[in-house]
């Protein structure tokens, strides 16, 4: 996402005036971006990826989203575990015809996401998800892999 610098009256020949709340003495990192902005950008990106991935995983468990849509985001072990759990849920719904079980994971909404950096390029996040039946916690571990965030652990309570 690119940042847009507002043009203010009084700017002359490319020099910016002192704008309140703006830090001018940030040291650039190797990528050329100010090092003071990196952590905030990573945190917000990881938070958004976590929210989207958890929402999609809950939709897979509800049977309204195909699992292959998460192939790019989940590592193979997480993908296999999620697919196995979704299959078990569908099998149990078909076997028992329990209406409460059929509503499980329906209308899931991610209420909140908390993110914590545990190492360089590795984050752990937790999310609270509310559906028609109950509220549940989801734990996620994300690692940067080839410029994308990949979920290496996914635990749905």
CB atoms within 10 A of CB 81: 15
| pTM metric for this prediction | 0.71
Residue 96 binned pLDDT confidence (cut-offs 50, 70, 90): confident
Tens of pLDDT, residue by residue over 100-154, are 777 777 889 999 999 999 999 899 999 999 988 889 999 999 999 888 899 999 9
Tens of pLDDT, residue by residue over 44-79, are 999 999 999 999 999 999 989 999 999 999 999 999
Task: Give the total residue count for the chain.
Answer: 157
CA angle, 106 then 110 then 116, to 5°: 145
CA angle, 149 then 118 then 23, to 5°: 80
Q: What is the pLDDT of residue 6?
A: 47
Q: What is the pLDDT of residue 138?
A: 96
- Domains of the chain listed by start with CATH number: 36-156 (3.10.450.100)
Is pLDDT of 8 > 90? no
């Amino acid at each position: 996402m690119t940042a847009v610098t507002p043009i203010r009256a009084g700017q002359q020949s490319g020099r910016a005036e002192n704008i309140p709340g703006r830090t001018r003495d940030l040291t650039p990192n190797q990528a050329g971006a100010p090092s003071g902005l990196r952590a905030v950008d990573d945190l917000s990106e990881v938070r958004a990826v976590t929210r989207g991935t958890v929402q999609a995983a809950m939709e897979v468990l509800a049977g309204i989203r195909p699992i292959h849509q998460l192939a790019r985001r989940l590592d193979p072990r997480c993908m296999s575990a999620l697919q196995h759990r979704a299959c078990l849920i569908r099998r149990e719904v078909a076997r028992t015809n329990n209406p409460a079980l059929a509503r499980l994971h329906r209308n899931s909404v991610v209420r909140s996401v908390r993110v914590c950096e545990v190492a360089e390029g590795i984050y752990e996040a937790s999310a609270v998800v509310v559906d028609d039946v109950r509220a549940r916690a989801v734990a996620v571990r994300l690692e940067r892999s080839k410029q994308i965030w990949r979920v290496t652990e996914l635990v749905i309570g």
